[in-house]
Each structure stands twice: as structure tokens, then as C-alpha cells.
Amino acid sequence: MSIIWKPSVTVAAIIEHDRKFLLVEEETSDGIRFNQPAGHLDPAESLIEAVSREALEETAHEFLPDALVGVYMSRYLSNRSGDDVTYLRFAFCGQVGAQHDRPLDEGILRAVWMSYNELLACREKHRSPLVLQCVDDYLAGKRSPLSVIYTHPSVTSGQHA
């Protein structure tokens, strides 16, 4: 029997407003870290639905993605648990919407707006090197239209193609 390797698919929201970026401070297996609002793709949802959901769950802010900043791959080895995971991250930029009065996801300590310099100053506390890479790519103007992403209806309808 062969073992099939699969990366962990995640989404991330790069949200800028007034020259500050919306990040989350979260508890991780490696301690408290900063990350973009991000998380795993769930069954029966598109990448665009996933990033909007994750941003709302982690920051209590609505997020409407308008472009794909990039697709990133990284490997993570937890200092504490020894888990070895490869992540495939789809990072989106877009518009921040209304803030809701709702609890943040479990493990999220707070949502925080940080300037680029503040983000640079705490890079040793980033969840991964992708946090800064995604912001740098965003600031460099890297964008692809959302139309480059296609989700077949079988994903969200529950019916097989």
C-alpha cells in the first residue's frame, strides 16, 4: 500500500487600512505568535469563502477579497510537538468590512492593527516566515484576479462531478 502525501491547504487575509495591517495574536504549540487572519480550507467551501470565513472568525471583521496576492508553500516543524507539516497557503487581499460584536476563534487572543515597521520589529514572533513574505508581496503590488481561481460546483453542492 502506498502512502499519499498531502499538504495542508490554508488561506490568509492581507488586510490593510490606513497603512496598518490587521493581524491576530494567537496561542500556538510554539507559544504566542502573530499571523494574518488565516486558517484551513474546510470541506464544501471555495478558497474565497474560506478566507472570508476565517477573517470573520479570527478578527470579527468582514473581509471581501478582491485579488490573490500569491500561493505559498512552506514546511513547518513544531518545536514542542514535533509535528512536520507542509502548508500550501493562498493569500488574498481585499476590503475590510464591518466589525461585529462576536467572540474570536478559540486560541485567538486579539486582533491587532500593526504598521509595517511594527510587523518587522516582531518578526521573531511571527507564526511563520510567510507572514512577512505575504505582506512584502502585497506591498510590491503582486496581484492576480480572483478569476484565476475556479471552484467546480461539485465542491459546494455535495454532488460529484
Q: What is the CATH number of the domain that holds 64?
A: 3.90.79.10
Output the CA torsion sign for 35, 53, 100, 109.
negative
Residue 149 resides in a domain: no
Q: Answer for the pair 85, 8: CB distance below 8 angstroms, yes or no.
A: yes
pLDDT tens profile 17-74: 999 999 999 999 889 999 999 999 999 999 999 999 999 999 999 999 999 999 999 9
* Cα distance between residue 20 and residue 35, in whole Å: 14
Query: pLDDT-based confidence at 1, cuts 50/70/90?
Result: low
Residue 153 resides in a domain: no
pTM: 0.92
- What is the per-residue pLDDT for 5? 85
| The total number of structural domains that make up the chain | 1
* Domain of residue 126, residue span: 8-143
Mean pLDDT over 114-139 rounds to 97
For residue 71, the one-letter residue type is: V
Residue 79 resides in a domain: yes
* Beta-carbon contacts of residue 6 (< 8 Å; ≥ 6 apart): none
* Cα distance between residue 40 and residue 132, in whole Å: 19
